[in-house]
Amino acid sequence: MSVSHVVIPFVKASACGNDFLLVASLNIENALAPVDLAAVTQRMCDRHEGVGADGVEWMYPHASADVEIRLINADGSEAEISGNGTRCVAAYICAERGNEKITIQTGAGLKTCVLTGRTESEYEFDIEMGEAAVGAELAVKLGANEVRGIPVSMGNPHYVVFVPEFAEDWRTRAAEIQRSPQFKQGVNVEMVVVDGKHDVRTRFFERGVGETQSSGTGSCASAMAAMATGKAESPVHVHAPGGTQTVRQENNLVFLRGVARLVCRGEFFLS
């Protein structure tokens, strides 16, 4: 089969404005070998020449889980996990198979998604995200200045900066933090405003994407950093431009609740 005739079926889904393309990996790997998933992902995620998305969740069969996923960001870089992307995959599996408890093998371990509500193409899930590793306050040098924040790992790296309000140049500042050599594996940056013991507002600047409307692991990191520093208590409602997610902690485990919406189906022509 020539490259010009390769068609990649996909489903587009969104979790609080964080959008992903879901692709059964065999649909492309059976047609092309070897496959440069990074390059294909970049083309599919391009918002002008492609479909447009923050990343692609490549889905594989798994012996013991319902599905295994490999997340590649819009710039072609690979990430361990996206909480929102995982929830989008759970919505797809629920729609396709009717499962209400879905196990998903991610690069950050096995995640269990439990359906808590459904309205047409919108699905709400509660996901056990595992334990958070919250570090001590870390100063990051930015030229002659420095910023202080809380490093958090949710299976992927985060740096949470508490601010009184979002500055107009917060994206520039987040990008500078992200480029810091102190983060050897890169980092997802969260700017957080604490509005109360159970409410925070967050802006996200993610590895391989830039600003996103929401982030599942970023919401967890923001909430856990706020709880660890005494600024908030479980449960924490994390408000972002794309919507609100709820993070709670039970017996050292972090749980994330939010919605995912199946947007459309389509075919991407690889030419």
Number of domains in the chain: 2
- Judgement on whether residues 39 and 100 belong to the same structural domain of the protein: yes
CATH number for position 241: 3.10.310.10
- Judgement on whether residues 119 and 203 belong to the same structural domain of the protein: no
- Judgement on whether residues 167 and 187 belong to the same structural domain of the protein: yes
How high is the pLDDT of residue 50? 96
Q: Give the Å distances, CA to CA, from 98 to 102, 117, 179, 227.
A: 10, 13, 43, 36
- Judgement on whether residues 41 and 158 belong to the same structural domain of the protein: no
Indicate the pTM of the whole model.
0.93
- Judgement on whether residues 43 and 121 belong to the same structural domain of the protein: yes
How high is the pLDDT of residue 6? 83
- Judgement on whether residues 100 and 211 belong to the same structural domain of the protein: no
For 155, the domain range is 133-251
- Judgement on whether residues 110 and 211 belong to the same structural domain of the protein: no
Residues in the chain, pLDDT under 50: 1-3
